[in-house]
A and B are shown apart, each in its own frame.
Chain A
Amino acid sequence: MLEQVFRDEWGRVLASIVGFLGDIELAEDAAQDAFAIAAERWPRDGIPVKPTGWLITTARNRAIDRIRRERALAIKTEQLVRDMRDISEETMDETAAFPDERLELIFACCHPALALDAQVGLTLRTLGGLSTEEIARAFLVPFETMSKRLTRAKHKIRNAGIPFAVPPDHLLPQRLDAVLAVIYLIFNEGWGGGRIDLSAEAIRLGRAVVELMPDEAEAHALLALMLMGQARSAARFRGGELVLLDDQDRALWNQRQIDEGRKLLERALTLHGGGPYIMQAAIADLHLQQPRNWEQIALLYRSLEYFTNSPVVTMNRAIAVAELEGPEAALALLDRLELDDYRYYHSTRADLLRRLGRDNEARAAYARALQLTEPGPEQRFLDRRLANLSDSADQHIGS
């Protein structure tokens, strides 16, 4: 119970302290101190009336203590104490309303001057409250690598003067895109690898952005898209094995998440959104309907292609084209794409070739897809497909 409160409050408390100190590293230490004190006191004395205010006030006080103690930072303390004289009398009261500064923090963490993997890690650490160890495990990198990556990013934010602010209007669309891209990347990492915690984390972040930017159509659309994907998560695996959408048990789909996703999509449309996430959310919605309207799906992918110019989108359109015009037409589309390093490109090709009875080519494509897939349900799924092909080939020889 306390742990849940902590997880929910971490981002808000940390953001507030970063806003106050202008340094993520120092803020993290102070916030950690405050949470440790809370873990000790709250079970004994009860949860304060305003837990967020209590945590922020305590973290601020700890930050000042810490800085005072560190003699190397003597000059900084002087400055800080001077700055704080006014603040301390007015707002150091824990019942005061602290502004929510999570949005400032997320824009700093997703600033394009940081490498994408650093943006992702930092967002999970600062807003999601995941530990460095958890993030390292989720992205299959050694702890030291992730730790270095995060430290470097935090230092760059401080030293390079990356703003802790919501970008001005002329920069906002582009910067918001970067924030949404980071969240969607986290979601997809959880999706592909079956690490459900990351998908849930992305949804939490998506919710925060929607809450903080209630007029942004694309933020609503991204959350809709993620919810409609997540809704099928219980049905995607049976006994640890991957189940394709058409074979999924619809009773296992989470109707509450689907409804919420549809409502968010509607809201995005009322906000006159027309961006790539709206299109993807609309496609996700169509995929949940039976029978699937492949014509509309293909059409939406077409618009999305126009928007993103992404070969991955063309590949997805090819899957719809296969249903409408047959696998050959789809293969012709795929052949024009340069996606040799993308595992789903090869698994899609393999499936089309299999359906056309071009078994040898299908086998080669499955093999290439397998090379690019990490051990897990997806790999076992491809293995089974490849084994089935080999079986039928043996039968051919025998018959």
Chain B
Amino acid sequence: MRYALLVYNNVEVRDRIPEERRRITAEIAEVLSRPNVTGWLRLHDVESATTVRYEQGRTLLTDGPFLDSKDFLGGFIVVEVENLDGALAVAGELQELRGAAAIEIRPVHEERHIGA
């Protein structure tokens, strides 16, 4: 099964000293290079976000993320594993390395046709 790991960051993670961040990034890179990781995306800082929303019959463009929160999405990782326990193991390992914030695990719909 495929799972998306939604990697959340917060201010604590963002404001880490550069050496620490480099060390953690290197260790995370090792996890991301494994065969069960089939894809990943690292997002730019949340300040760069733009949101298009639909409200009261109109499409509106706003600066900033959709949800205004102390926690924000930092990236996606897609893993291909046997079951939820496999995804939990990868997420658990990443959290050990990151030592902060959270990872949300979501199963991926395998039917390719939209609307199924």
Interface size class of A (residues with CB under 8 A): 10 to 19
Interface on A for B, CB 8 Å cutoff? 111, 113, 159-163, 165, 167, 171
A163 in complex: contacting residue of B3, B82, B105, B107, CB < 8 Å = B82
Interface size class of B (residues with CB under 8 A): 10 to 19
Closest to A168 in B: B85
A111 in complex: contacting residue of B3, B84, B87, CB < 8 Å = B84
Contact between chains at B85 and A160 (CB < 8 Å): no
Chain B 83-101 interface 0/1 with A at a Cβ cutoff of 8 Å (1 = within): 1110110000000000000
Closest to A159 in B: B107
User: Which B28-68 residues have a C-beta within 8 angstroms of A?
Assistant: none
Top 4 closest A-B pairs, CB basis? A163-B83, A161-B1, A161-B83, A161-B84
Contact between chains at A160 and B82 (CB < 8 Å): no
- Sampled A-B contacts (22; CB under 8 Å): A111-B84, A113-B84, A113-B88, A159-B107, A160-B84, A160-B105, A160-B107, A161-B1, A161-B3, A161-B83, A161-B84, A161-B87, A161-B107, A162-B83, A162-B84, A163-B82, A163-B83, A163-B84, A163-B85, A165-B83, A167-B85, A171-B85
CA distance A113 to B83 in the complex (A): 12
Interface on B for A, CB 8 Å cutoff? 1, 3, 82-85, 87-88, 105, 107
Closest to A111 in B: B84
Closest to A162 in B: B84
CA distance A235 to B85 in the complex (A): 45
Which of chain A's residues have a CB closer than 8 A to the CB of B107?
Answer: 159-161
Which of chain A's residues have a CB closer than 8 A to the CB of B88?
Answer: 113
Which of chain A's residues have a CB closer than 8 A to the CB of B84?
Answer: 111, 113, 160-163
Closest to B85 in A: A163
Which of chain B's residues have a CB closer than 8 A to the CB of A160?
Answer: 84, 105, 107
Which of chain A's residues have a CB closer than 8 A to the CB of B1?
Answer: 161
CA distance A162 to B87 in the complex (A): 10
Closest to A113 in B: B84
CA distance A167 to B107 in the complex (A): 20
CB distance from B59 to the nearest CB of A (A): 31
CB distance from A391 to the nearest CB of B (A): 56
Which of chain B's residues have a CB closer than 8 A to the CB of A111?
Answer: 84
Closest to B87 in A: A161
Closest to B89 in A: A171
CB distance from B81 to the nearest CB of A (A): 8
Which of chain A's residues have a CB closer than 8 A to the CB of B87?
Answer: 161
CB distance from A166 to the nearest CB of B (A): 11
Closest to B116 in A: A75
CA distance A161 to B87 in the complex (A): 10
Closest to B109 in A: A159
CA distance A161 to B82 in the complex (A): 8
Closest to A164 in B: B83
CB distance from B34 to the nearest CB of A (A): 18
Closest to A165 in B: B83
16 A-B pairs besides A113-B88, A160-B84, A160-B105 with CB distance below 8 A are: A111-B84, A159-B107, A160-B107, A161-B1, A161-B83, A161-B84, A161-B87, A161-B107, A162-B83, A162-B84, A163-B82, A163-B83, A163-B84, A165-B83, A167-B85, A171-B85
CA distance A262 to B84 in the complex (A): 39
Which of chain A's residues have a CB closer than 8 A to the CB of B105?
Answer: 160
CB distance from A343 to the nearest CB of B (A): 34
Which of chain B's residues have a CB closer than 8 A to the CB of A163?
Answer: 82-85
Which of chain B's residues have a CB closer than 8 A to the CB of A171?
Answer: 85
CB distance from A109 to the nearest CB of B (A): 14
Residue of A111, A160, A161, A165 with most partner-chain B CB within 10 A: A161
CA distance A160 to B88 in the complex (A): 11
